[in-house]
Structure 1
Amino acid sequence: MPVWIHILVFFGAFFMMEFMAWFTHKYVMHGFLWSLHRDHHLKDHDSWFERNDTFFIFYAIISIVFFLLWRYDILEIGLAIGMGIFAYGFTYFMVHDIFIHQRFKIFRNANSRYGKAVRRAHKMHHKHINKEHGECFGMLLFPYKYWKK
């Protein structure tokens, strides 16, 4: 299979994960698994870890399954899919957990209009502390309604 197909599949998997993250957040995290996601909104604990952190394990397992399918010659394109999922997860962690929520104290002085808009958009999502209103699609890519001069 040509390399360009692997590259295309990698980016396809990466961008498909944005839809999966939105879908999972709206219908699973703010749905039947709200009990795991709730502590991310309410901060009713003193621990650095949250029950919400268990969701990353789900996507990590899916990524690992694709790596194994590739490794054991079951799915040639499995490496590209697994890497796309992994790259999205890493990007999500860097933006959501480090940049927005400051779980590690780096990127604190990032003061671009875009960065501020992303943080403001996410803060608007977190003002809803209940299961309802879990919508957050496009806040990372299109936070422009939260720009301030």
Structure 2
Amino acid sequence: SKVDQLIVGGGIANTFIAALGHPVGKSLVEMDLLDTAKQIMADAKARGAEVPVPEDVVVATAFAADAEAIIRDVADVREDEMILDIGPKTAARYAELIGKAGSVIWNGPVGVFEFDAFGNGTHTLAEAIATSGAFSIAGGGDTLAAVDKYG
């Protein structure tokens, strides 16, 4: 009840995507938390807040640095694919929300940024946070590694 926007990406976003009834293929998803994700979105909406969920994603059929990165609408993820990053439309939308924020608490990358083909979402958000006027806190080992990578 303390946030206006709860932006989800990375593995947790898959649970929210699945909670909305979209396919997630071979992606990591916590099926036992689908109802919790639905409740979080409903609670946010009831107080005029939002939990924006990715509208497009970057997928691959293998978890590898050299895997082909394919941009898909969340409704079009195939059974043999896994979501490895947020898509460019989602990254732009999230960056816009960050630009309007008074404060940002960032915990966790939104994609497998260690593989360049799946790092654009995290790079876009890192840049948005760095150039925003918001008070910002970044925490967690993976988040700090992303900050180091993207400056």
Which structure's residues are more often strand, by fraction?
2
TM over 0.5: no
TM-score range, shorter chain: under 0.3
Which structure carries more relative contact order (alpha carbon 8 Å, separation 6+)? 1
More helix by share: 1
Tell which structure's C-alpha radius of gyration is larger: 1
